[in-house]
Amino acid sequence: MLYFVYFCLYFLVFFFGCCVGSFLNVLIYRIPKRIPFWKGRSYCPACDAVIKPYDLIPLFSYFFLRGKCRNCNHKISNRYPLVESLTGLIALFIFREYDLSIEFILCFIFSALLITIALIDIDTLTISNELVISLLIPTAVSLVIHPDWLSRAIGFFAVSLPMLILTLIIPESFGGGDIKLIAICGLMLGYQNILLAGFIALLLGGAYGVILLIKSKDNRKKHFAFGPFLCVGILTAMLYGEWIINQYLQLFHLN
């Protein structure tokens, strides 16, 4: 019976995350187009038909409709269920770490904004200032609950300042959005976790850059979105940073 209760609880958390992911899809589509996300109901981008409420159930509606618009039969991007599933899974991971608590709410809001930032950056190669500023809301609440000011103040500059200096020396090394994003996240995570996040991002971004060069030398001057790699690093450090750092220190007998 206890296992059934846990299953129901985890399912509800996952479905809640999927519902939020459905809303994130709206933000990802509308913010770059400067369409107010609160204006009007969801519609098919191909035929402009308003989507019925029963076709907006996360995941289920996509598979029930076989990935096509009910009105015009146009293929629906598989990104929609992927974003919903990803948000649901992240909600589960955060729930396992913090249960139902204020930390769960703050981390989930922070994560949802990071998902939105990452996907918009992939599409447009820009990071929305509005979304970065929105990260200050959960960060400010977290500062009130856990006022470790010194670590967070150092975290604000620990990665963002070197990125800024490198960009001044080598123009376009990093975008201004990347620098602002890592600065705010450093304020949220503190200096140890943001250093880990930056390392993970550089590792993943560097690997992706190498793959692009292997595919074609013409990609040498090609710009790619670094924001998603930052977001992956930040999410990883936020959830498992302390464990990763402790494992690293134990590996070299430093603690």
Tokens of 142: 């977290």
At 105 the pLDDT is 96
Tokens of 51: 């989507």
At 6 the pLDDT is 83
* Domain parsing of the chain, residue ranges: 1-100, 127-255
At 224 the pLDDT is 84
The Cα 119–Cα 189 span in angstroms is 22
At 219 the pLDDT is 62
At 28 the pLDDT is 95
CA distances to 84, 92, 108 from 99, rounded to whole Å, are 21, 9, 12
User: Pick from 239, 242, 230, 234: which is nearest to 89 by CA?
Assistant: 239
Strand partners, 50: 43
3-state secondary structure 159-206: CHHHHHHHHHHCCCCCCHHHHHHHHHHHHHHCHHHHHHHHHHHHHHHH
Q: What share of the chain is helix, strand, coil (3-state, %, to 5)?
A: 75, 0, 25
At 177 the pLDDT is 94
Q: How does pLDDT run along the chain (255 residues), one tens digit per residue? A: 777 888 899 999 999 999 999 999 999 999 998 888 887 788 877 787 888 888 888 999 998 888 888 888 888 889 999 999 999 999 999 999 998 899 999 999 999 999 999 999 999 999 999 999 999 999 999 999 988 889 999 999 999 999 999 999 988 788 899 999 999 999 999 999 999 999 999 999 999 988 888 887 666 667 789 999 999 999 999 999 999 998 888 887 665
CA distances to 50, 148, 241 from 68, rounded to whole Å, are 14, 49, 40
User: Pick from 158, 154, 77: which is nearest to 123 by CA?
Assistant: 77
At 54 the pLDDT is 83
Tokens of 204: 């993943």
